[in-house]
Amino acid sequence: MMERNIEIITIPLSVWESAETKEDLEDWLLAHNPEFVKRMRKAQKEVEEGKIVSLDEL
């Protein structure tokens, strides 16, 4: 029998009730994901340092 890793995520009721779409819930989940936030901050720093070029500039 294969074991599955199940992770439980707690979403506050106020967030659940106020979300109008699945995308709203996804946005909240991403904003509260430490690894995602860390990666976005790193990417923003690289943009500010000129290490990343926008598609428009290409």
pLDDT digits (tens, 9 = 90+) for 1-12: 677 888 888 999
| Residue corresponding to tokens 């967030």 | 15
Which H or E element spans position 28?
Answer: helix 22-31
Whole-number mean pLDDT of the chain?
90
How many Å apart are CA 25 and CA 4, to the nearest integer?
A: 24
Confidence of residue 35 (pLDDT cuts 50, 70, 90): very high
